[in-house]
Structure 1
Amino acid sequence: MVSSTIILVFCLVTFAVIHSFLASLPFKRFIMQILGSRVETLFRPVYSLIALITILPLIYLLYKNPGPIFYIVPSPWRWFMVGGQLIGAIIGARGLMDAPHRFKISGQLSAPNTPEAGSLDIRGIYRWIRDPFLLSGLIIIWLTPFMTFNLLIIYILSTIYIYLGSLHVEKRLLSRFGDEYREYQKKVHRIIPHFGGDY
């Protein structure tokens, strides 16, 4: 069992390294030099496809080697958990739909506080939460209606990775939008939705 856990952790670390490298600004700058403006339409689907391909071995190995079972939530409670996971998926989808300008590579690579960087432009779900992807990921992970030893190890490491990724994204947004983002941080929580305020 120890060897299967080590292999699973290796698969997760490999995924995280590839995922982080492809999301890095130096790599995006390199791709922008090669593809020019076409990168805006090509990067997201290719990035998502690579993420899917690199996570599939981990999913397969978890399926084949789940480890000892800790619990299985019985009906009807499991369906409440699955419903919560669906809500988590919707939160993540809204995060993509409500801030397409944040994901434009040309804006990410531009100098801070320039017309190319754009404005923060708070809309949709971002009026209530700064990082819907962090919330979405945690909901989907921890509302799984069963738990095994290997799944728990992967979920703990994934939670750490998602959290650190969220901190990195916040740092990027601060660099890009400066005081505008600092004011936004004071008014809107990063992970706990807050239905009120100026946004």
Structure 2
Amino acid sequence: MNPSNLTGHRFFVFSVKLAGLLYSLLCYLFFLLTVLYLIGFLAGIGAPKDINSGPGITWPLAVLVDAILITLFAAQHSGMARKNFKRWWVRFIPATLERATYVLSSCLVLTLLFVLWQPIATPVWKVESPWGKGLLISLFWLGWGVALLATFLISHFELFGVKQALYAWRKLIPEKPTFKSPWLYKLVRHPLYLGFLIVFWATPDMTAGHLLFAILSTFYILIGAHLEEKDLVESLGEEYQRYQQEVGMLAPKRNHTKGH
């Protein structure tokens, strides 16, 4: 290869890697905006449309539409995370962009949920006490804090696909995956899911639509955690099985022991 062709090839490779990095950063930015909207959607703060707003339709049809939307998110979010799908998917996209594309897909499905969600405004409970209301609002924000902290305790930017593209751009060799259980992961195996469960249920103004969202989302989290753990046992073997015996999935075990 002559020098000019070699220079052109290097420039092309550099451009492709830079494009991948920019793509992953844009996916991450979209994720941040989606999460901010989800906060407003559930809390009724600042979102043009929240979980209880909109013209609404008859409640049986609203239940059907909302159940389909959550099922669609569950199918996408869990299905694309499975190893068999990943092995098939990386035949069409670079492996370094697989996670960012997964994050983008999840955000698009969530956006669809925001747009098409049908409110069911029938009140289930409404806490009027300032102390009770303050407690539930505090729990809501605590849940978000737990979820955010859980991502940083493992690898926040790897979880959302930025680190993979950055490593490819800088020609770094990815670190070999190792099992670790820092801080919150010594209390429960899935603190991220626990944070979301708190977020979904902690509201002083629970409507039938919000309750439907909380129930179906809880059901999905339980299924998703089970599927994720099957993959973890397959990849980590006895090490993860011991972890399962010692640490509760979503609540601390009474006989919890330290030492991970």
Counterpart selection for 2:247 from 173, 188, 194: 188
Q: How does 1:1-199 map to 2 (within 5 A)?
A: 1-39=59-97, 43-44=99-100, 46-62=101-117, 65-74=119-128, 75-100=130-155, 118-193=177-252, 196-199=257-260
Give runs of ≥4 in structure 1 deviating > 6 Å. none
Q: CA deviation at 1:167?
A: 0.8
1:147 aligned counterpart, secondary structure:
strand
1:169 aligned counterpart, secondary structure:
helix
Contact 1:88–1:136 (Cα < 8 Å) also in 2: yes
Contact 1:187–1:198 (Cα < 8 Å) also in 2: no
Extract unaligned runs of 5+ from structure 2.
1-58, 162-174
Summarize the Cα distance change of 1:104–1:133 in structure 2 as closer, same or farther, 3 Å threshold: closer
1:70 aligned counterpart, secondary structure:
strand
Summarize the Cα distance change of 1:104–1:180 in structure 2 as closer, same or farther, 3 Å threshold: farther
**1:131 is aligned with what amino acid?**
H
Distance 1:154 1:55 in 2: 13
Extract unaligned runs of 5+ from structure 1.
106-115
Q: CA deviation at 1:178?
A: 0.5
Q: CA deviation at 1:103?
A: 5.2
Percent identity of equivalent pairs: 24
Q: CA deviation at 1:104?
A: 9.7
Measured against aligned partners, the alpha-carbon deviations of 1:18-67 in whole angstroms (never above 9, x if no partner) come to 2222222223223333444522xx624x43333232123433444x5223
Contact 2:103–2:160 (Cα < 8 Å) also in 1: no
**1:8 is aligned with what amino acid?**
D
Distance 1:185 1:27 in 2: 25
So what's the TM-score if we normalise by structure 1? 0.79
So what's the TM-score if we normalise by structure 2? 0.62
Distance 1:130 1:168 in 2: 13
